[in-house]
Structure 1
Amino acid sequence: MKKLSLLLSIVAVITLSAFTAGTSSVWTNDAPHSQLFFTVTHLGINDVSGTFDDFTVSVESSKADFSDAVFNLTAKTSSINTRVEARNNHLKSADFFDVEKYPELTFTSTGIKPAGENKYKLTGDLTIHGVTKTITVDLWYRGQTTNPMSSKLTTSFQIDGSIKRSDFEVGGKFPEAIVSDEVKIVANGEFVQADQQ
């Protein structure tokens, strides 16, 4: 009888461990400690940067190293900020993002591949200005720690990549001599588990 009880206990532990290992955790970005940057070249000689200030990101993963992570991002195009109001308003107009017609840009990852220690190639569908394209960006998992101010387990990621604005039909009236076709993207984020919030 004792052997049967021991056997049942072992089976229960193994089953519970397997279930726990396969359970996904959902993480969401901590907005005050997350930024979404973009940079273009102006007149072929100078880089000008901006941000989207209103965005949310969720990350779902069942592995501790996030090697199976799925990322979902939504940004409000009206939150574009280049520090110059007139330029912001122009970028919001139909000449560029047409924010009234296309109020959001989104990214949903579809694949992730190792590219070094804590580094990955993240592939997904990016939608801007009503156009969806598949892109691949560099993802750096920067680690995990407990935030001493909130006592919450916090993890961090950086995304680095580039796109062509012409692929998304943004700013078609403006040639590369004025604004570069290539747009560099950098996103830095801190994340906490959804059940900690």
Structure 2
Amino acid sequence: MKQLFISLAIGLAPFAAYAQTWTVDKAHTKVGFTVTHLMLSEVDGNFKTFDAKITAAKPDLSDAVFELTADINSIDTDNERRDGHLKSPDFFDAAKFPNLTFKSTSFKKVEGKKYKAMGDLTMHGVTKPVTLDVTMNGPVTNDTPKGKQEKVGFKISGTIKRADFGVGGTSTAVVSDEVEIKGNAEFAKQDAAMAEKK
């Protein structure tokens, strides 16, 4: 048994040595969605409060693992009454299910800057696998007052069915079942020394 643990430690050593965490730059990130109202017009919304990070061992982030948490109570569609309805038991039931989460299980290159991110989305107490289209820009190194910093940007999109998560019932007379997920995110590579302190 001891030999097994030693073997595992040796096997994981390269990842531990090179794994990097990238933290989200919230000032340059937006997590949102679009639905169709009355089958006539599109309504956009986003979550004002969220957190996200990326963990990767490879410098090109080809093995990236994405994690996101969004606060349902921070939903914003530019209409206070509509936001209140979305938070109610008729839709998200924010009092009972306050968070939406996503964690990727794979990140595969399609071509060029295009990738497919597959993972588990949990919403309204239901977890389902989803596939998202991702465009990655970077990583690039920028000069800052504190020195050089690596950053990377992602444009994310995908479509889910709200009925799969029990959000808003099955009727599509008022709100479409299909929900388009949209995300534009910027991440900064965390300094290794800071990561060790945490």
Shorter-chain-normalised TM-score: which range?
0.7 to 0.9
Contact kept, 8 Å, 1:21 with 1:63, in 2: the verdict is no
Q: Of 169, 175, 188, which aligns to 1:192?
A: 188
Query: Aligned ranges for residues 90-101 of structure 1 at < 5 Å?
Result: 90-101=85-96
Partner of 2:72: 77
CA separation in 1, counterparts of 2:81 and 2:144?
38
Write out aligned runs for 1:4-15 (5 A): none
- Secondary structure at 2:140 match in 1: strand
1:177 matched to 2:173? The reply is yes
What is the match of residue 11 of structure 1?
none
Aligned partner letter, 1:89: G
Matched position secondary structure for 1:109 = strand
**Aligned pairs for 1:86-125 within 5 A:** 86-125=81-120
* Aligned position for 2:140: 145
Give the match for residue 66 of structure 1.
Answer: 61
Closer, same or farther: CA 22–141 of 1 in aligned 2, 3 Å: farther
Structure 2 residue aligned with 1:167: 164
- Which has more radius of gyration? 1
CA RMSD in angstroms, aligned pairs only: 2.0
The amino acid across from 1:170 in the alignment is V
Using structure 2 for the length normalisation, give the TM-score: 0.84
- Deviation for aligned residue 1:90: 0.5
**Structure 1: gaps spanning 5 or more residues:** 1-17
TM-score normalised by the chain length of structure 1: 0.85
Letter in 1 for 2:43: V
Are the structure 2 counterparts of residues 185 and 93 from structure 1 closer, same or farther at C-alpha, using a change threshold of 3 Å? same
Point out 4+ residue stretches in structure 1 off by more than 6 angstroms: none
Aligned length: 179
Q: What is the identity, as a one-letter code, of the residue corresponding to 1:35?
A: K
1:14-93 maps to which residues of 2 (within 5 A)? 19=14, 23-93=18-88
**What is the percentage of aligned positions where both structures have the same residue?**
48
Cα deviation for residue 67 of structure 1 reads: 1.2
Structure 1 position 126 matched with structure 2 position 121: yes
Q: CA deviation at 1:28?
A: 1.0
Unaligned ranges ≥5, structure 2: 1-12
Q: How far, CA to CA, are the matches of 2:15 and 2:159 in structure 1?
A: 37
